[in-house]
A and B are shown apart, each in its own frame.
Chain A
Amino acid sequence: MKLYYYIWIFCLALAGCSNSVDTETASVPKPIDLLTKQKEFVAGEAINLRFDGKPSNQILLIQNAWGTFGLQPDTTEIQLSFTLPTSVAQKSGEAHWKLISNSSIMSEGDLNILPSHNSSKEMETYIGPTSIFADNKDRSMVVTLPQDEFGNPLPEGTKLNLTEKFKEEQQSSPIELLDLIAHDYVGARKKVGDIFITTTLEKQVSKEFTVNVLPTRADDFIIQMDRQHRFADGNQIVSFKTSTINDVHGNMVADGTLVNFIIKDNSGNQYQTYGQTLNGMAEGKMLHPEVPSHWKVNANISGTSISNLLELDFEAAVLDYAIHMAKDGKTITVGPILSYMNQWVPDGMNMRLDIKTFEGQTIRTFNTSSRKGMGTFIVPNSINVDEIILTTTVAGITKTIQGTPK
């Protein structure tokens, strides 16, 4: 207790023989006034907070959008002052400061820093999605973040210019800044093409953005067929061609759109071929059948559109042929097989030999193909020709031999 007493005496003695400013700092801390009257600053301006006091161990805490900065007093000044670092002085928005000395708040207040008047050169702009459908509904969005030279967002209500060019037409419209950004929709076009977009604010300009307007779902289409002749020779190719496929707004579908051609014949078989569009048209190809057939063909683009139904007939190319069994009873010669002009059928026509019991049960089947209108089968030695029926099938025509030639 006595010690405190002496300290007090000492302090009073000091006070007695020194000027009043010294007693200020020596006494119990009392609020330190802010001398700087300015409360509103422009980003980038040097901000210096001067206080009515001497620098000692004070620390200025300043909280802005990014966090709390702690600052030491300026050492070059006689009076207590703090120069805010550029990272604080260039950041717009509210900043709250507290002057702390010996763990107590000496003074506190707010600063308001406005965005700089000089805008950034480049306009930060985002566009998405970058491709839309030409269905008169689909839209893309432009979002732009205009900034001052230090990257601060510009004040609410700032008006920007959005320019949109599509084919020959170009239009500009103002968009207004709200919640740090300005945004608008572009698109809703019927025609395929590219929309070019840019945003500007005085000298601040964005780069050029492109939104592709793509054709939308294909509309229904028509198919036609093209063939060299109508005979079922199993050699020629029939091609199916689509009309130009467009979407509902008359835009040609994108190249490479897959078109499926489905073929059903009169025996209930189903075949499929496909083609990809080029300039809106696709072509599918199919080999002629070997037997007289009736085909029903239609085409579709998976899930979106279908074509008309196309019907076509194939007439028999081969009307009849001869078969001959050699004396050995093993070698069967088929042919000559003659086609629609009495010419040999093209090489490669399928020929089948079925070996059956008298009860009609198939024991073996052999396949071969024609060459120069002829074909040969050899019945294996293990089979007794007297106990079987041999049947050949070529171009849908069936012929039977029974027993060994006499």
Chain B
Amino acid sequence: MMVKKNTYRALLLLSFLAINAGIIYGLAAAWSFLNTGADKSTILHIGGAIEKAYQPKITWDLKEQRGRKISDQALGELEKDYVNAWYVKSIALNSYNHLGVEDYYTQDARSQIHALIKNNQDNAITIETTTLSHEPKLEFYSLDGKLAVLTDKNVSQFEKIYASGELLHQQKTISSYKVILLLEDGFWRIRQMVKLPTTTIHEKQAEEITFNAKSWKGINYYPKDHPWDMFGNHFDASPISDDFETIHNMGLNTVRVFVPYETFGKANVKDEYLQQLSKLLDIAAEHELKVLVTLFDFYGNYDILDWTLTHRHAETIVSHLKTHKALLGWDIKNEPDLDFESRGKNNVLNWLSEMAAQIKKIDGLHPVTIGWATPEAAVNLVKTVDFVSFHYYEAPEHLMDRFLVLKDAVGHKPLVLGEYGKSSYSCVWNLFTNSENSQAAYYNKMQKVLSKEQLPYFMWTLHDFGTVPTQVVGRKPWRRAPQKHYGLIDSDGNRKPAYGEVTTKRKGDN
């Protein structure tokens, strides 16, 4: 009886809470609805620019084209629809969803696609696929501009094939196709495709890149006032110049900076941001510093259908900066091993290894690395990178052991400590164990190990920061607060004791 009574009480109480929660939610929703005004531009009903979801590299060959000479405008439309045809097919292969297939394949071709999808559906096969590059040669364009034939050479295609949800096989293939397209209802539609016999392509053996990692002594850099957000409106050359002067005077010769993927405009990199990054390298050059550029900061998708967008992003930045004299190399991504669990290790590694290949294709001179979060993760993709980079924030006493294990696994590739440091923040969260002096002691120990092992390093970081964005370490105060105090210089501009520990004497100094 008593139990039943208590159950009723509990139910009553819970329903009371639920009703209250509902009311508060309703009020909040109404409030936020009333606060959303129509943007004035919406009056005009101007359609927003649709971001292209799929951007493989397309290199046209228009030599010896027969029929009518194609205009740039017509070629652009043809390319857009042809690429979309591949995209809708990728979606259909992955989800059995035929959306868009009607738009980009003629009736006959469509039935072939349907047969393909049905076959795979019957055999419980799903395929994640993307094409990375196409080299179409326009063979023929009809006089009335309604029929085109192209030979799509060396279509580089990546596929992950799943049987009943289990990864069965993954493959990167290079194939060539002859394609007939018809212009119907304003869409270029694929009418016919024929796969051509595979010709083996001898991929150029990557030349050994020469660089002297041993000499690198560096620091991870964000300006004091705009950590994790230094480009765009916040970009200010003069504090950067002052900081780089300081870094140079500390006896360091390299900085590691970060390029946020979304802020920079994803596949279509904003020119303003690119110029600012370029300017940063100019400033570094003035202060005799080299810059390790870390791409894809805050990126975390890795989905195969997202690959081509990231490739265009890297293409723009790498080709713009590859001749810059201050460029040290490319760090593809900061701590990607942290995404192993949420995104799948296989997905992350595939993306990284393809990205490394894409970057090397554009810039064959600068070394490529990946900024792994731990020494243990750094054994991944050793063959892909030019030097192995890892981060270490734990006790200096254990660095040696863990480093030596990694060193054995890595072989002859140079190793770099991409991030290390200690917060001087002292509070109840860490039982008041940290202090500026303990930070100095940490650096003292670390520098000894590093110089003994001749391990190149990048410290974290120059400044204490006033704010840390939530994307970096989350919202928990016991995680955010220490993150603000990793600097060698405090927020008032005073040098902490650690500053003295890391400043190396330069030639000529007494």
A residues apposed to B, CB below 8 Å? 59, 61, 63-72, 85, 87-88, 91-96, 98, 100, 103, 105, 110, 112, 126, 128-129, 139-141, 143, 145, 151-153, 178-181, 183, 185
Contacts and interface: CB of A to CB of B under 8 A. Distances in A.
Contacts, number: 127
B108 A151 contact: yes
B197 A181 contact: no
B169 A67 contact: no
Contacts of A72: 123
A94 B163 contact: no
A67 B120 CA distance: 10
B38 interface: no
28 contacts: A59-B163, A59-B168, A64-B195, A66-B193, A67-B89, A67-B113, A67-B129, A68-B93, A68-B129, A68-B161, A70-B119, A70-B120, A71-B123, A72-B123, A85-B119, A87-B116, A88-B119, A94-B197, A94-B198, A96-B173, A98-B171, A126-B146, A126-B147, A128-B146, A179-B151, A180-B149, A181-B147, A181-B180
A342 B139 CA distance: 83
Nearest to A108: B171
A209 to B, nearest CB: 13
Nearest to B194: A93
B194 A140 contact: no
A105 to B, nearest CB: 7
Contacts of B112: 66, 87, 91
Nearest to A104: B169
Q: Is the interface of B mostly helix, strand, loop or mixed?
A: strand
Contact of B140 (A68, A94, A112, A179): A179
B169 A141 contact: no
Nearest to A110: B198
B61 interface: no
A103 B169 contact: yes
Contact of B115 (A65, A68, A87): A87
Contacts of B195: 63-65, 93-95
A108 to B, nearest CB: 10
Contacts of B108: 151
A179 B119 contact: no
Given A65-B194, A139-B143, A181-B140, A85 B115 contact: yes
Contact of B116 (A59, A67, A129): A67
A100 B112 CA distance: 24
Interface in B110-139: 112-113, 115-116, 119-120, 123, 125, 127, 129, 139
Contacts of A71: 119, 123
Interface string B83-110: 0000001000100000000000000100
Most buried by A among B143, B161, B177, B197: B143
A139 B144 CA distance: 10
Contacts of B147: 126, 143, 181
Contact of A145 (B123, B143, B191): B191
Q: Which range holds the interface residue count of chain B?
A: 35 or more
Contact of B192 (A63, A98, A112, A153): A153
A181 B112 CA distance: 20
Contacts of A100: 161, 168-169
B426 interface: no
B156 to A, nearest CB: 14
A103 B171 CA distance: 11
Interface in B163-182: 163, 167-169, 171, 173, 175, 177-178, 180, 182
Nearest to B113: A66
B209 to A, nearest CB: 32
A179 B129 CA distance: 27
A141 B145 CA distance: 10
> Nearest 3 pairs between A and B by C-beta?
A128-B144, A70-B125, A141-B143
A71 B203 CA distance: 31
Nearest to B176: A94
A110 B89 CA distance: 23
A88 to B, nearest CB: 8
Given A61-B169, A92-B194, A181-B180, A67 B127 contact: yes
B373 to A, nearest CB: 28
B484 to A, nearest CB: 47
A392 B230 CA distance: 90
Contacts of B116: 66-67, 69, 87
B168 A103 contact: yes
A83 to B, nearest CB: 12
A103 B164 CA distance: 13
Contacts of A178: 139
Contacts of B405: none
B161 A128 contact: no
Most buried by B among A66, A67, A93, A105: A67
Contacts of B282: none
A186 B327 CA distance: 60
Contacts of A143: 142, 147
Given A70-B119, A70-B125, A180-B180, 15 more contacts: A61-B168, A66-B115, A68-B93, A68-B161, A71-B123, A88-B119, A91-B112, A96-B198, A103-B167, A128-B144, A128-B146, A129-B143, A139-B143, A140-B143, A140-B144
A126 B141 CA distance: 12
Given A69-B116, A87-B119, A153-B194, A61 B161 contact: yes
A179 to B, nearest CB: 4
Nearest to A140: B143
B67 A183 contact: yes
B124 to A, nearest CB: 8
B180 A145 contact: yes
B376 interface: no
Nearest to A72: B123
A126 B142 contact: yes
B225 interface: no
A72 B163 CA distance: 10
Contacts of A181: 140, 147, 149, 180
B21 interface: no
